[in-house]
Structure 1
Amino acid sequence: MDAAILANIRVIEFAGGIAGPAAGLQLSEAGAEVIRIETPGMADYPGSVLFSVLNRGKRRVALDPDTADGRVALVGLIAGADVLLHDLTPAQAAECGLDDARLAATYPSLVVSAIGGWPRRHRLADAPARETLVLARLGLLDEQPGHRPGPVFVRMPFAGWLAAWLCAIGVMARLVARRRDGRGGIAHTSLAQAALAPMSMHWSRAQTPTPVFAKGLSKSTPIPLHRCADGEWVHVHYSPDKAPWMAQALAAMGPDAVAAENAKYPPSHVAPNFGANKAIMATRPARDWVEHFWQNDVAAQVAAPFGAIYASEQARANGYVVEVDDRVRGRVRQPGPAYLSDPPPRVRGALAAPERAPPHLPPRPEPKAVAPKASGAPLAPLAGMKVLDLGAYLAGPFATMLLADLGAEVIKVEPPAGDAMRRLERIFAGTQRGKLGVALKLGEPGARAALEALVGWADVVHHNIRLPAARKLGIDYAALQVLNPGLVYCHISSYGPKGEQKDWPGFDQLMQAACGWEAECGGQGNPPMWLRFGVGDYLAALSSVFAVLLAHYRRQETGQGQAVCASLLGATLLTVAESVMLPDGATTPVAQLDQAQTGLSSCHRIYRCRDAWLAVAALGARETESFARLAGSTRLACEAWFAGQPRAAALAALRAAGVAAEPVLEAQGEAFHDDQDHAAAGLHARYRHAVYGDLEQVGAYWDFGDLPLRLDRAPPALGEHSREVWERLGLGPEQIAALEAQGLTVLTNAPGTHS
């Protein structure tokens, strides 16, 4: 068996919560040796289910850095490492002697990735890294619709999971750059940057917006989650009107009754007969509807209980569910790796007992640059990588946008009629910056020469088109490998590359439903609720980028390309790690959101003060005790304490007592772009767009210190760079003219064309 891709990499993990350990898990299962440091002050409960999943297969070392022996041991571990992964704030890192400047001077080849609550240049950089507080301060608790007016507590810790992937990607990008430059450096990210990733489709501002761009996508848009005759709920994506049962029922209702049902709800951009669909869905059991929809190529899923996904044959067929011998719980089902590469990632065993004595590690040899030292300005981490983006919608294009941010040159190919997502202009623009835009009608004989030129140019081909369609278009791996044997080819599917559902349509909403997050986000006793942030798409995108960088790293050693893949199901299922399935088929319980959608406990929730909302996240024993002394020990007492005073007074009292809290900001879509703290931290990006004029969007997702990111090219208008690209790839004037004459390309952005 070939050695794992990261077999020669050693990682020191010094982090708690979700993001750091989950990033360490990805590096471990890609082959790295991960040594996890556990200190007496860490708040993580080692007996929890989540802890047992995130830290499986790692070496656990008990160490107290507050003692002289502990500090010596920590220095020895770092000296023997390639990567240090931690979640210390800048002030905490300096106190421990792990600040960036000191590490760079002492260990010049070390890659350091810190996951804070906020970027290191933000005014809140030293605030506690607690997701609820970050979301509150950013205004994202107000972006999620709820079963009542006002901001709601977001049950899914999506920022932590996204930050884990951003960290793992940052580490890989730095390792790639280290081979080029012969030195390490930082690759920091934060919960705030991760939380802002999904807002790239909502929070943007244009100097001259079109009406569609200006409108955006309202959080009041009705979500097609329908209650069925048996009380279960089904999430349907796009209109189900052509499915025979639905078509027959709509005809039987008649146009007047259909119109009356539709009038009960706001218009839906995905289902023109939303109200009538809802009434008709209530006439049959949920499972009957889902099976009927599947038979008729309508994407749908039952909003399942949390953890039920472990019984999915589709998930097990793709290794997204694995069996692990847990020392406490027996042989349990847990989330498996979310992507596939060659060699594949593998689970490296259950949670091990901690070692009381730190291992002795020999110092790592200094890496040598494989290229001559660059003169002049430093290069972005992935400078020189060439990526062909054949994807559409969200997951595929966002992945390639991140590669562009990291310095890769990306050419986006879309049909002459435009990417299907262009009709939602703000969402489209949020996944396309940094790319050269080319229009080409794939699958046509006349377009073959242009496609071959693109593939011959590329190092990476990335897309999320269903594979049967990809084969018809001639862009499957088998077809493209012939043209470019060294290609790294990445595909994002909905349900994974194996199993009965491998070619089925699927969307983020359906993965949230299948994995139980819609049930949990709704709150106890309430209907399920979709998390509006589209997390499944973003998780799949990030996992695919990690897979691409692993394959690229491998190719630097072997010269050989490979096909890698990721999926919406695999990436979303990983977030179910709060629960596992026991040998008897039962699933372990998880903390549930209350019916009012305000929180999980009296000390971790949002409270309504006299004038506004406030978020509290007192997660440690000392904070919990301080909070109880201040506000009360019961929920009713706490609610009364907060309701009796203005937010500013409550916040001041909490902070004086050492309790972590933040205001729940509201209506931040515009305010985000004017916030100077966000600007100073690199959270803004601005460029000139062909249609919108000055375009402002969410900015950097990483901080690489001495290496720049590429955030200087606006999303392309349709066909904006076609002529430039065709000429660069060697197509002659007659070939280009023929492509245009046959309607196979667009050479300029025609009037009225969406951005």
Structure 2
Amino acid sequence: MAGALDGIVVLDLSRILAGPTCTQLLGDLGAKVIKIENPGSGGDDTRAWGPPYVMGPDGQPTDLSAYFMAANRNKLSVAVDIATADGQATIRALAAKADILLENFKPGGLAKYGLDHATMLAAHPGLVYCSISGFGQTGPNAAKPGYDLMAQGYGGIMSLTGDPDGQPMKVGVGIADVMCGMYATVGILAALRHRERTGEGQLVDVALVDTQIAWMINEGVNYLTSGQVPQRRGNGHPNIVPYQVFDAADGHVIVAAGNDGQFRRTCAFLGVEGLADTPDYATNPARCANRATLIATLEPLFRARTMAAIIAGLEGAGVPVGPVNRIDQALASDQVAARGLVVDMARDDVAGGAVKLLGNPLHLSRTPVSYRHAPPRFGQDTDRILADLAASAKPG
């Protein structure tokens, strides 16, 4: 069954995570993604970001680090040195056949090669050219490099993450990069829709910091509305109480009492029904104002019960509740299996003949995602792609 983007060709000049996340998603949706990797550096930086690595049949590490594989399936790897005249000519020839070009060089970094958006769009007016950078193509910080950790720090999310009395804390994965890749995907799809109507390509300018600011969501608007700077609350919620992690006798549970009725039923389960009638706790605004004393009252009540008892009891009462799983527990769950969120992709040049990857979360009834190409070894498709390019250039 053809994917939604079947027939779309993506020329991917990106590396690390934000750009590759975007192009992997486009590839999952059916696009042909040609990943350009620098032969002088051994390819995408993340090929060396291990361990762990997938092992070859000889028991030695391959260039398939887990980090690289997380964002590079459904791609063809072509080794091209864009610093050379031949390499630049190859990119231009590939761009002539592409619908989308994505890059994450510093703003202006491709101009010296004649591969910048102004030059490429002049030559190919229908091209959708997406540039991902740390701060965007404009503004006083445009020339500064962009890394996920820097974006999390600059954009404010670290000030909200972590223990109230500890250091600001980054999110455990590169969420600024990943969300930038998601926004880039949306922008590219919107630009493709515009091209369908008009034939016009355009520049899609996406920045790590811009997107990180955008997904501050309620905390950002809390500040804009109140003028009060949001504070770190650990696992607590700024606007709902109790909505957080509690210690159980044998682990940790999440309790999300999102309204007064759910709070009342939580109190009943814990054997403190009268707590819900106390003026300090009867309404959510009152509970927010008296958060510290309420949580101090609830904590020992949860700690005296097992995870299983808490989950069964609150689920039975219609209160949102769940476990805090380790990654191994999450990936081994029956829900993950039912939704196909762990996939095996065959490679005959690795130990075991396959690699395991996280699946795509999109479920489209007519144009489902597909897993056609395992993450590529460096430059494995160079000869074939360049031979096809040469053949298509011949007259007749």
TM-score surpassing 0.5? yes
The within-5 A match list for 1:538-557 is 538-557=178-197
**TM-score w.r.t. length of structure 1:** 0.44
Write out per-residue CA displacement over residues 497-537 of structure 1, whole angstroms, 9 at most, x where no aligned residue: 11121121011211211222212112323211111221111
The corresponding residue for 2:386 is 726
Change in 2 beyond 3 A, CA 1:590/1:500: closer
The corresponding residue for 1:382 is 5
Structure 1 residue 461: Cα displacement: 0.2
Does 1:627 pair with 2:266?
Answer: yes
Structure 1 residue 484: Cα displacement: 2.2
Change in 2 beyond 3 A, CA 1:414/1:618: same
Write out per-residue CA displacement over residues 255-300 of structure 1, whole angstroms, 9 at most, x where no aligned residue: xxxxxxxxxxxxxxxxxxxxxxxxxxxxxxxxxxxxxxxxxxxxxx
Does 1:395 pair with 2:18?
Answer: yes
Structure 1 residue 478: Cα displacement: 2.2
The corresponding residue for 1:422 is 47
Question: Size of the alignment, in residue pairs?
Answer: 350
Does 1:516 pair with 2:156?
Answer: yes
The within-5 A match list for 1:328-343 is none
The residue type paired with residue 614 of structure 1 is V
What SS does structure 2 have at the residue aligned with 1:616?
A: strand
Unaligned segments of structure 1, at least 5 residues: 1-377, 733-755
The corresponding residue for 1:684 is 342
Change in 2 beyond 3 A, CA 1:674/1:520: closer
Whole-angstrom CA distance in 2 between matches of 1:537 and 1:422: 17
Structure 1 residue 380: Cα displacement: 0.9
The corresponding residue for 2:30 is 407
Bigger mean CA offset, 515-524 vs 693-702: 515-524
Structure 1 residue 682: Cα displacement: 2.1
What SS does structure 2 have at the residue aligned with 1:546?
A: helix
The within-5 A match list for 1:202-213 is none
Structure 1 residue 673: Cα displacement: 4.7
The corresponding residue for 2:322 is 662
The corresponding residue for 1:698 is 358
Structure 1 residue 729: Cα displacement: 1.2
The residue type paired with residue 465 of structure 1 is F
The within-5 A match list for 1:509-658 is 509-578=149-218, 579-580=220-221, 587-590=227-230, 592-594=232-234, 597=235, 603-631=242-270, 632=272, 633=275, 634-658=294-318
The residue type paired with residue 164 of structure 2 is Q
Write out per-residue CA displacement over residues 651-692 of structure 1, whole angstroms, 9 at most, x where no aligned residue: 2222222211112222x23x5554443122121222123445
Whole-angstrom CA distance in 1 between matches of 2:320 and 2:331: 26
The within-5 A match list for 1:271-310 is none
Write out per-residue CA displacement over residues 532-571 of structure 1, whole angstroms, 9 at most, x where no aligned residue: 2211111111111111111110111111211111110110
The residue type paired with residue 655 of structure 1 is E
* Mapped contact 1:433–1:713 kept (Cα < 8 A): yes
* Mapped contact 1:455–1:483 kept (Cα < 8 A): no
Whole-angstrom CA distance in 2 between matches of 1:673 and 1:725: 36
What SS does structure 1 have at the residue aligned with 2:14?
A: coil
The within-5 A match list for 1:89-168 is none
Whole-angstrom CA distance in 2 between matches of 1:714 and 1:491: 25
The residue type paired with residue 529 of structure 1 is M
Does 1:434 pair with 2:94?
Answer: no
What SS does structure 2 have at the residue aligned with 1:638?
A: helix
* Mapped contact 1:617–1:660 kept (Cα < 8 A): yes
* Mapped contact 2:156–2:213 kept (Cα < 8 A): no
Change in 2 beyond 3 A, CA 1:645/1:448: closer
What SS does structure 2 have at the residue aligned with 1:490?
A: strand
Whole-angstrom CA distance in 2 between matches of 1:451 and 1:725: 12
Whole-angstrom CA distance in 2 between matches of 1:423 and 1:561: 35
Change in 2 beyond 3 A, CA 1:527/1:404: same
**TM-score w.r.t. length of structure 2:** 0.82
Structure 1 residue 582: Cα displacement: 7.6
Change in 2 beyond 3 A, CA 1:528/1:485: same
Structure 1 residue 608: Cα displacement: 1.4
The corresponding residue for 1:444 is 84
Change in 2 beyond 3 A, CA 1:653/1:470: same
The corresponding residue for 2:284 is none
* Mapped contact 1:443–1:474 kept (Cα < 8 A): no
* Mapped contact 1:457–1:729 kept (Cα < 8 A): no
Whole-angstrom CA distance in 1 between matches of 2:203 and 2:99: 12
* Mapped contact 1:673–1:696 kept (Cα < 8 A): no
Unaligned segments of structure 2, at least 5 residues: 50-64, 276-293
Whole-angstrom CA distance in 2 between matches of 1:542 and 1:501: 22
The corresponding residue for 2:283 is none
What SS does structure 2 have at the residue aligned with 1:729?
A: helix
Structure 1 residue 731: Cα displacement: 5.6
The corresponding residue for 2:125 is 485
What SS does structure 1 have at the residue aligned with 2:182?
A: helix
Structure 1 residue 493: Cα displacement: 1.3
The residue type paired with residue 685 of structure 1 is V
Structure 1 residue 468: Cα displacement: 2.8
Change in 2 beyond 3 A, CA 1:536/1:582: closer
Whole-angstrom CA distance in 1 between matches of 2:125 and 2:312: 62
Whole-angstrom CA distance in 2 between matches of 1:471 and 1:392: 18
